[in-house]
Structure 1
């Protein structure tokens, strides 16, 4: 094993052609022909996703705002941090504020962008911004048509136990927990901003 090289040119795949295969309401499937680093050609199929946000919302007592939502592709109810896709032209903070209010009824006065994650790099362009929110006030939620979910509060210890026991398996929520643990341990600081 050696140090990482300064350039990734020897790994890059160049697009030769790109064809839409399927266009849904918000997802698109594409099939690209690429030139590999050794000069051969190959196909790459992937989903084009508009991007999303996830919110780690912290209540005054330290518990976290969570959701339970049935996810059709895996045919089970999942435990998740509030999250949602970006609307066209929408910024990450605006999306995080909108999704938190729509899904949970909470508004936050303080926000901090922790970072980003790429949840499925093998077959999708999706990028999820990880946001933290606190100084919460509860109002009325406004779920999208056809959206059904339960909102509840859980402690960090409960979430850790559910992850350990396989009850909490949503990748973005697991990443949010990792960020939360690092932040609470003082290792990963957050740059909080007050938003009116």
Structure 2
């Protein structure tokens, strides 16, 4: 089997919001047929594997309207105009806003397309170590309505969630697999 490129013949933004837009495309296929594509164009984001020590990370338990439930996930946030050239700035901001921590070291781990079947959403995954609390007068405000419980979990606890199918957030699964890779 051979993979063929599609040719976009027209495109139109049918929704535009602050975080994402929806584009509809008309495409020509390799076999001469035509098709439509709906694509969610999403602002790039960062996720952070925030280490307390080599055996423990901090996860957030927060309500997500999209699934109508609470979920455990790594700290994350979207890039804004300050961050596109240096995504690690967003890491510093999100650690402050969400964990109320600063990192002694921040390293880029990897990047990935989150939901390639319908979206161009791209996430940069970072590792943050040597966390220290931020003084209250230096804490940034959280996003409107953002609430969360911070949960420190060991590798074995996160692995248990992974093994039982209870670790379901894609960025957090990717971060866990990277953590597992780091452990050799």
**Does TM, scored on the shorter chain, surpass 0.5?**
yes
Q: Offset at 1:61? A: 5.8
Rounded to whole Å, the distance in 2 between the matches of 1:65 and 1:152 is 6
Task: Give the distance between the partners of 1:61 and 1:137, measured in 2 at CA.
Answer: 15
Greater per-residue strand proportion: 2
Question: In structure 2, how many angstroms separate the alpha carbons of the residues matched to 1:156 and 1:61?
Answer: 9
Unaligned stretches of 5+ in structure 1? 2-7, 186-196
Question: Residues 11-30 of structure 1 correspond to what in structure 2 (within 5 A)?
Answer: 11-30=4-23
Q: Which residue pairs with 2:91 in the alignment?
A: 96
**TM-score normalised by L of structure 2:** 0.91
Q: Please give the alpha-carbon distance, in whole angstroms, between the structure 1 residues aligned to 2:152 and 2:26.
A: 47
Partner of 2:70: 77
> Could you tell me how far 1:12 is from its partner in structure 2?
1.1
What are the equivalent positions in structure 2 for 1:169-180 lying under 5 Å apart? 169-180=168-179
Is 1:66–1:82's contact at 8 Å kept on the other side of the alignment? yes
Residue aligning to 2:122 = 127
Determine the C-alpha separation between the residues in 2 that align with 1:177 and 1:58. 12
1:39 is displaced (CA, Å) by 2.5
State the Cα deviation string for residues 14-65 of structure 1 (Å, max 9, x = none): 2111111111222111101111122321100011101100000111363101
1:57-91 CA-partner distances (Å, limit 9, x unpaired): 11136310110011101111000010011113513
Paired residues in the alignment total 178
Q: Counterparts of 1:106 and 1:88 in 2: how far apart (Å)?
A: 22
* Pairwise CA RMSD: 1.6
Q: Distance in 2 between matches of 1:112 and 1:23?
A: 33
Query: Structure 2: which 5+ residue stretches go unaligned?
Result: none
1:148 corresponds to: 147
Correspondence for 1:87 among 75, 80, 84: 80
